[in-house]
Structure formats: C-alpha cells, structure tokens
C-alpha cells in the first residue's frame, strides 16, 4: 500500500547533501505529492476526497490552505523508479479527482568537500577575481528592514557573527507556548523547521550556517568574517531532519509557503530566498510554490548545481537541475566561478538558464560547530557557496533602492556583471558578480512612464533637457507628474532648482531649497580627455570623497573600473582607441551633523 498521505496542502521531500557529484535520483519511499483541484480553503475539500485520503495509512495535513496533498511515511529513501511511480499515481488518480500526482523527490545541497584552505575571503577581497565587494560597500552595507530568507539545513543562531543578523518575528511573543501571529507555528520568533513543524531552525549539518554567513555575517564588528551584506536580516526556515541526509520536497514546499504567508498575510518584508539545493527531477508542486512567491514579489536565488557522476558540470539548457531550471521570472540561477578565472569544472552552466556566475570555491564562512578551522569558521566549495554571494548582493541593491521589483533587480544584476571571456556562451550575462557595478548601475529601462521618451538607457527624457529629477520620489519624473508643493519649473523636468535638483537626504525637498545642505554640496567634478586617458578633477571641498565608476560600453574585453578618489585628480590608465565609456560617480560627504551621498547624472565619453 502507499504509506502515509498528506491532504489539501503541499508535501514533498528534499534532502540536504554535501555531495561531490549528483546522486542517483531518489525519492522518499511511499511519498506522493498530490495537487487537488483548486479550492479556496484547505478545509473545503469534498468529504469524499478527504475520506479517500484518510483511508491511506497515517494521512496528515502538511501545508494548510493550499490544494496539495502528499503521502508521507517515516522517510526511508529509495531509488527513483518512474514505472513504479506511474503505476502508484495511476491508482491514486483512479480513487481521487486530482490535478497532479508525483513522487516526493529528494533534493541535495549543492556544495562540495573542502579543498586546500586559504587564509582570506578571496571572494570579497580579490579585486580581479572576486565580487568587488569593498568598492560596493562604499555605496551601501545593507538595511535591517530588508529580510533575506534561507531554506537550508538550519542556522547556528548562537554564532557571534550570525546572532546580530537574525530576523526576529515581532508578531510572536517568545516562549509563551502560543501561535500569536496565527501562521500555524508556535513561538516561531527566529524561524522554523518544517520537518518537525516547530520553531527551532538549529543547524545539525553546517551547510545552512555557512550559506547564511556568506550572505549576512556581521561586518566591521571585530569578529571572524564579513558577509556580503552586513546589516540585512536572515530568516532561516529549515526543512531538514537533524542528522538527515538532505530533505524532502514536501518539507521545502512547506518552507516556501511559510515565507509566502509571512509576506502576503503578515507584512514581513522578505525580498529574496536563497536555495542552495536541488536535484534533476521536476516537481509540479514545487514549481507552483515558487510561482506563489512571485505573486508577492519574492525572488529565489538558486544554485545551478554541481554536475553529475563525472564531476563535470552539465548544461542546464539540456539537462535541468531544479529548482534552478524552472524558468520562472523570479528565479535567478547562479554558477560557480573559481580562483583560476574560469567556471569551475564541476559547476553546471547554461547560456539561457543560468543567469550569472559568482565566487564559489574555497569560501570561508561561519559553521555550526566549534572546533573546525578558526574555531567557528571553515571553507566550503560549490554552487551552494556561489548563490549566497548573489543573494547578499541583491539584498544590498533593494536596501538601496527598495522600489525595485525582483525582475528589475535581476535585470540590473545581469547588466552589471563583469564581462568574462571565459563565461561567454556559458551564462546569460557572460560575466560574474560585480557588487560595485551593481550598486552604481543606472535605473532599469522600464522605470519610465509610458508617455515619456528615453533620451538614453536608464533615463526618462522630457524634452531637450534630460530629467533625472523626481522630487516626490514616486518613480515618475517631475516633467510627467509636476512639481510637489506647487513649486514652479525653472526648466523642463526641473522643479525650481535649475540644474541642481539633487535631493541628498531623500525628504522630497531638493538641496537648493535647504540652505544647510546646499552649503555642504560639493561642486561636480570636471571630466575631460587627456589623449586616451580620462581625467577627473575635483574642486577643493574638505571631507569630500568621490567614488568613480567607469563602465565599458563597446569594448567587450575591458572591465568596469571603480575607484575611490580622495585627492584632487584621477587619471585613468590608457584606454582602447575608439572605445566608449559610461562615467558615473557618487560623492560621500561628511559633516559634523550628517553624512550625505550625492549621485551624479551619468556621462558618456568616447576615446579618440
């Protein structure tokens, strides 16, 4: 017979495994995920359907309020047998009116065993092969208002580099034995475990703690390591059995729906989910759960996976790896870029199905136990380690520009990737994560209102004079929706401030209307050509620091350059004849009473 069944909800199996190569496809024995026909409430199944489900041994409801059911037993694994699965599902579908039936698949962590150790976080500090994080942190180090979810083996919530980064559920009173926020979990104030259906996401494996540290280990705290994002918050939802080998898809779907509920019904600002796991088998129920996340604008950053038995990465355009390969707009798939300047041999790839590569080899991060390298830190490798670099970077981006949607953020991620000849034809962006380029990238092309013309990419043109002014910060330029507070336009698109319509403190009042800010505003730098070099000259202004970003527009071999200018001039290296460059800059200005950042219009220049 079938074992245990799960009713109107979602149930599936996914296992965390630090696997060197992909396992033979496995399922949880006698588990079947059943999606019933759409209902508005999990309790609204017909009595005949419900009774049929209950007739199977140990039937239980796994995820409330979704029309999916699953057979569940004690969790023994067995090799995937498509013929047996088809026969079992055929019998189930004879007894029930269901939308779909599928085996409960095993998912595996996309990490690899450690290779030789390195003494530093090269993925953050190496300016050539790493993610250009140091220059990116000049723009932004994250916001506690941005929540990043992680579905993984759990988290060491006592780790000194992770504890300050934990999301705390303010709608739940800790340790009172009640489900205060009504989401089905008692006292889930720092996350949950969907396998045990409790409030304890403790990490018994180490994989989830390592992933979490890459995303958001506390930076500049004098301890251990720094994450990509120093200040955003981590929400861990573990679908894993303590001591188990991976996890069931049913439990990972429960985790996805836990996050969906928190955002849709409880207002938690979850922007992205890190999913450093997967396997080769498709799940209709998992697809539907990730699609539900898209409906509330939650993005899922998925590890591309680590190849097959030959330890050589697979082309996901031809040989899918799920959830990275579902093809949904809110999924961003990440490959593993190595220290040799190439895609790691074990990393999966795909010119249409993998978005970008990021550092994933010999990554030092936090772990669950004491006694490993540097006590609570160790090295791991794999696409599991590459994906959280991108997750942390995207969380920084939406902390800086919270109005961006997931699709807009994903497009900026691909556009800002550092070009790599070695990645051409392997990933969509043909490049690697560049944090500074991402955070200084222009606004998405689709930010312009329908009735405004584009003067050039990233801008919303309003006649002869280009308007970047948006004084009321509603993402519609002033030339379209008028000036706030009845201010008169001094020129097309400009609300009463000439060509200096900056709003450094983002309060809706341009700096020229606030004398205390105007007196602190540095004059713009002078940009000119000196032969085949770009010369940037700063006017004297005590305390001003210029972050200058040069982005190649025509030379595919050139790489973006981000420099910090504290003196009076910057002279670029000799650039390729005929190449075109986009120049943008941000002033970082300190004063006794405030700090302000002043972002420039973007200039374009051609090397003669």
Residue 451 has pLDDT above 60, yes or no: no
What pLDDT score was predicted for residue 467? Answer: 39
Final residue of a structural domain among 461, 496, 519: 519
Mean pLDDT, rounded, for 322-346 = 94
Q: Per-residue pLDDT tens for 30-68?
A: 777 887 665 444 444 455 555 555 555 444 444 443 433
Residue 283 has pLDDT above 70, yes or no: yes
Q: Which residues have a Cβ under 8 Å from the Cβ of 40 and sit 6 or more positions away?
A: none
What pLDDT score was predicted for residue 63? Answer: 43
Higher-pLDDT residue of 208 and 474 is: 208
Mean pLDDT, rounded, for 418-426 = 94
The torsion angles phi and psi of 209, rounded to 5 degrees, stand at -65, -40
Number of domain units in the chain: 3
Residue 97 lies in a domain: no
What pLDDT score was predicted for residue 292? Answer: 96
Final residue of a structural domain among 519, 541, 576: 519
Residue 370 lies in a domain: yes
**Token match 């972002």: residue?**
599
- Report the C-alpha gap between 557 and 102 in whole angstroms: 47
Mean pLDDT, rounded, for 219-247 = 88
Higher-pLDDT residue of 527 and 51 is: 527
The answer to whether 16 touches 245, Cβ cutoff 8 Å, is yes
Tokens of 163: 């504890």
Do 422 and 548 belong together in one domain?
Answer: no
Higher-pLDDT residue of 443 and 263 is: 263
Element containing residue 250 per DSSP (H, E):
helix 249-266
What pLDDT score was predicted for residue 166? Answer: 96
The dihedral built from the CA positions of residue 143, 146, 150 and 156, taken in this order, carries a sign that is: positive
What is the CA angle 295-62-208, rounded to 5? 70
Residue 99 has pLDDT above 80, yes or no: no
What pLDDT score was predicted for residue 462? Answer: 38
Final residue of a structural domain among 483, 500, 519: 519
What pLDDT score was predicted for residue 271? Answer: 98
- Report the C-alpha gap between 466 and 412 in whole angstroms: 22
What pLDDT score was predicted for residue 603? Answer: 76
Do 506 and 591 belong together in one domain?
Answer: no
Residue 260 has pLDDT above 90, yes or no: yes
Mean pLDDT, rounded, for 496-500 = 43
On average, the pLDDT of the chain sits at: 75
Residue 4 lies in a domain: no
Do 420 and 543 belong together in one domain?
Answer: no
Q: Which of 114-128, 167-181, 304-318, 367-381 has the highest mean pLDDT?
A: 167-181
Higher-pLDDT residue of 512 and 124 is: 124
Do 377 and 495 belong together in one domain?
Answer: no
Do 295 and 344 belong together in one domain?
Answer: yes
Q: Which residues have a Cβ under 8 Å from the Cβ of 176 and sit 6 or more positions away?
A: 187
476 is in which domain, residue-wise? 442-519
What pLDDT score was predicted for residue 478? Answer: 52
What is the CA angle 261-267-269, rounded to 5? 100
Higher-pLDDT residue of 354 and 563 is: 354
What pLDDT score was predicted for residue 588? Answer: 60
What pLDDT score was predicted for residue 567? Answer: 67
Q: Per-residue pLDDT tens for 126-150?
A: 878 889 888 888 888 899 999 999 9
CATH number at residue 387: 3.40.50.200
Do 514 and 543 belong together in one domain?
Answer: no
Residue 394 has pLDDT above 90, yes or no: yes
What pLDDT score was predicted for residue 498? Answer: 42
Do 340 and 403 belong together in one domain?
Answer: yes
Residue 68 lies in a domain: no
**Which residues, listed in sequence order, are joined to residue 288 by a DSSP beta bridge?**
none
Mean pLDDT, rounded, for 533-543 = 69
Residue 448 has pLDDT above 90, yes or no: no
- Report the C-alpha gap between 448 and 592 in whole angstroms: 37
In the chain, % of residues over pLDDT 70: 67
Expressed in angstroms, the distance from the first to the final Cα of the chain is: 77
Q: Which of 30-44, 513-527, 558-572 has the highest mean pLDDT?
A: 558-572
Do 405 and 468 belong together in one domain?
Answer: no
Do 322 and 461 belong together in one domain?
Answer: no
Do 243 and 300 belong together in one domain?
Answer: yes
Higher-pLDDT residue of 209 and 219 is: 209
Residue 170 lies in a domain: yes
Q: Per-residue pLDDT tens for 67-88?
A: 333 433 345 667 877 777 777 7
Point out the least confidently predicted range of 222-231, 356-365, 532-541, 574-583.
532-541
Provide the pLDDT confidence category of residue 557 given band limits of 50, 70 and 90: low
Residue 507 lies in a domain: yes
What pLDDT score was predicted for residue 570? Answer: 80
Sequence-distant contacts of 40-45: CB under 8 A, at least 24 apart: 41/65, 42/7, 42/8, 42/9, 42/66, 42/67, 43/8, 44/8, 45/7, 45/8
What pLDDT score was predicted for residue 9? Answer: 32
Q: Per-residue pLDDT tens for 357-387?
A: 999 998 999 998 754 555 788 889 999 999 9
Mean pLDDT, rounded, for 493-517 = 46
Point out the least confidently predicted range of 73-87, 130-144, 443-457, 559-573.
443-457
What pLDDT score was predicted for residue 71? Answer: 39
């Amino acid at each position: 017979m079938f074992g245990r069944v799960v009713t109107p909800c979602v149930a599936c199996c996914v296992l965390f495994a630090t696997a060197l190569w992909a396992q033979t496809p496995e399922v949880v024995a006698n588990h079947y995920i059943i999606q019933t026909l759409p209902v508005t409430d999990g309790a609204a199944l017909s009595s005949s359907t419900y009774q049929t489900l209950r007739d199977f041994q140990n039937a239980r409801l796994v995820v409330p309020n979704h029309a999916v059911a699953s057979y569940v037993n004690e969790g023994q694994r067995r090799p995937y047998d498509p013929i047996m699965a088809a026969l079992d599902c055929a019998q189930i579908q004879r007894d029930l009116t269901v939308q779909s039936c599928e085996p409960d698949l095993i998912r595996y962590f996309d990490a690899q065993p450690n290779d030789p150790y390195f003494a530093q976080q090269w993925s953050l500090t190496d300016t050539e092969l790493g993610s250009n994080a140091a220059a990116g942190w000049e723009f932004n180090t994250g916001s506690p208002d941005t929540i990043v979810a992680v579905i993984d083996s759990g988290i060491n919530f006592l780790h000194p580099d992770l504890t300050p980064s934990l999301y705390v559920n303010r709608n739940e009173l800790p340790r009172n034995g009640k489900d205060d926020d009504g989401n089905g979990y008692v006292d889930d104030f720092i996350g949950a475990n969907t396998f045990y259906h409790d409030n304890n996401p403790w990490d018994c494996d180490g994989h989830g703690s390592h992933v979490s540290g890459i995303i958001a280990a506390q930076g500049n705290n004098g301890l251990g390591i720094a994450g990509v994002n120093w200040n955003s918050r981590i929400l861990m939802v573990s679908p894993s059995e303590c001591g188990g080998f991976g996890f069931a898809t049913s439990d990972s779907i429960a985790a996805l729906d836990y996050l969906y509920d928190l955002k849709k019904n409880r207002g938690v600002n979850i922007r992205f989910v890190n999913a450093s796991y997967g396997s080769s088998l498709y799940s209709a129920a998992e697809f539907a759960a990730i699609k539900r996340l898209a409906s509330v604008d939650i993005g899922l950053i998925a590890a591309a996976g680590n190849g097959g038995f030959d330890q050589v990465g697979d082309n996901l355009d031809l040989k899918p790896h799920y959830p990275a390969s579902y093809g949904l707009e809110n999924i961003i798939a990440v490959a593993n870029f190595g220290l040799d300047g190439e895609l790691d041999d074990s990393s999966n790839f795909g010119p249409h199905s993998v978005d970008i590569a990021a550092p994933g080899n010999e990554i030092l991060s936090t772990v669950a136990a004491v006694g490993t390298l540097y006590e609570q830190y160790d090295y791991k490798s794999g696409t599991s380690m590459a994906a959280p670099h991108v997750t942390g970077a995207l969380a920084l981006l939406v902390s800086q520009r919270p109005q961006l949607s997931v699709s807009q953020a994903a497009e900026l991620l691909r556009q800002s990737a550092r070009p790599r000849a070695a990645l051409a034809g392997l990933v969509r962006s043909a490049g690697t994560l560049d944090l500074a380029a991402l955070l200084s990238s222009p606004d998405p092309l689709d930010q312009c209102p329908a009735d405004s013309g584009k003067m050039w990419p990233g801008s919303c043109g309003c006649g002869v004079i280009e308007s970047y002014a948006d004084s009321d910060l509603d993402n519609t330029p002033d030339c379209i929706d008028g000036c706030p507070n009845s201010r008169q336009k001094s020129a097309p698109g400009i609300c009463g401030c000439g060509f200096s319509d900056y709003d450094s403190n983002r309060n809706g009042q341009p700096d020229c209307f606030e004398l205390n800010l105007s007196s602190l505003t540095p004059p713009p730098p002078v940009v000119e050509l000196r032969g085949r070099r770009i010369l940037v000259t700063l006017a004297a202004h005590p305390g001003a620091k210029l972050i200058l970003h040069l982005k190649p527009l025509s030379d595919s071999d050139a790489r973006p350059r981000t420099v910090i200018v504290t003196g009076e001039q910057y002279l670029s290296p000799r650039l390729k004849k005929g190449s075109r460059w986009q120049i943008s800059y941000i002033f970082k200005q300190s004063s006794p009473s405030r700090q302000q950042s002043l972002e420039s219009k973007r200039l374009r220049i051609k090397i003669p």
